[in-house]
Amino acid sequence: MFLRRVVEMQVERKALYNLLRMNWLLDPSIKVLAWQVEDYRALPVFEIFNRLQAKHVDLDKVSFTALAEHCDNSEDLTDELVEGSEISQEDEDQIYLLLFELWRRLIPEKPSLSTFCDELDHQIYLYDQGNLDQEEGIQDVLANLQVILDENVDGGGKPLEVFELVTNTCANDIESFLYDFIAEQIDHHNYSYASELIEGFQKYIKDEKWFEFLTTRILAVTDSHGANQQVRQLTKKIMAKPDLEFIFEILTFLVQDGEKEAFVKLAKKGVSLLQTEEDFRDLLLISSDFFHHLDLEKQEDAIKKILQARHRKSIAEHVKAQDSDVQQFVKILE
């Protein structure tokens, strides 16, 4: 499947509705119209045709298939059917969503970027909800994603640009999902599959340090010394370009058999990046676990006292560097 830059906004339209539905499922209090968040995959085909007819689009399977032969995707088909008609944007979007679902089901031999990304979003949703009895669905769609990316790079595209074009057509943050999914594979000791995914997607990732860290986690299974060396290299990158979320990831990793020097250095850098009470508590909890693992009860108990003293504070409250507990925590690290 070769990607096209034309009608990008139209291709992204399905992703926008997928995102709206995802947010609504998480928070049903969001004000939406029923058609905007409906599960079109659950509609029978005859119901889709009936709804189109109600919008003055008279089609059946035969006529739909005939029209689809002359279009590249459901976006083109929508343009062709509504061209010249005086309908509202709301009606056009409803027609588009119905035609998209018909295309997905009835024209599988002509996959488009939008239908692929819709399936990718769907499989990610199922995976995140724990609705997959097996992981075959998400594994298959990720394998297809790699094929699409590789084909377009082989055709002259630049890796980061190709990946951006695909991910802009998805409702999910694909780069973040890939990291989380691979991290879960490592957690479940699926090291071979995790390594395959890292190798396949690493060149498409803009912020490469995250995938380098995944490689470090796998290396730690067989070579703790080599893993600690890689942590030192990653620490240099962090010092040059601080990232609190990434610091927390590495600190959590260092809790198990990590070098104290590296942990303390990163924890102190983390202190300088604290914004909220939640940030500070996360750092305290990770550090408490680290000192517990080292059997350093004095430091562990001191950190727990700070946590206990702050338990009534709002997690959204801003944390200042001059906070006495923050300064005490730095002394504990020393």
Return the half-sphere exposure (C-beta side, CA atoms, 13 A cut-off) of residue 196.
Answer: 9
Mean of pLDDT values over 276-283:
97
Answer yes or no: is pLDDT of 209 > 90: yes
For residues 259 and 225, the answer to whether their CB atoms sit within 8 Å is: no
Structural domain that includes position 327 = 242-334
Look at residue 14 and give its three-state secondary structure: helix
Rounded to whole angstroms, how far apart are CA atoms 139 and 257? 32
On whether residue 297 sits in a domain, the answer given is yes
Answer yes or no: is pLDDT of 189 > 60: yes
Q: How many domains does the chain have?
A: 1
On whether residue 187 sits in a domain, the answer given is no
pLDDT digits (tens, 9 = 90+) for 15-68: 999 999 999 999 999 999 999 999 999 999 999 999 999 999 999 999 999 999
Kindly indicate the confidence band of residue 134, based on its pLDDT and cuts at 50, 70 and 90: low
Place of tokens 């024209």: 107
On whether residue 281 sits in a domain, the answer given is yes
Nearest to 113 by CA among 151, 174, 157, 169: 169
Q: For residue 90, what are its two tokens?
A: 């709301």
On whether residue 62 sits in a domain, the answer given is no
Kindly indicate the confidence band of residue 7, based on its pLDDT and cuts at 50, 70 and 90: very low
Rounded to whole angstroms, how far apart are CA atoms 55 and 34? 16
Answer yes or no: is pLDDT of 11 > 50: no
Q: Where are the alpha helices (DSSP H) in 188-223?
A: 191-201, 209-220
pLDDT digits (tens, 9 = 90+) for 140-181: 999 999 999 999 999 999 999 999 999 889 999 999 999 999
Answer yes or no: is pLDDT of 233 > 60: yes
Kindly indicate the confidence band of residue 85, based on its pLDDT and cuts at 50, 70 and 90: confident
What is the overall mean pLDDT for the chain?
A: 92
For residues 61 and 3, the answer to whether their CB atoms sit within 8 Å is: no
- Eight-class DSSP state of 41: G
On whether residue 194 sits in a domain, the answer given is no
Answer yes or no: is pLDDT of 187 > 60: yes
On whether residue 319 sits in a domain, the answer given is yes
pLDDT digits (tens, 9 = 90+) for 240-272: 999 999 999 999 999 987 899 999 999 999 999
The pTM (predicted TM-score) of the whole model is: 0.88
Nearest to 249 by CA among 219, 298, 214, 281: 214
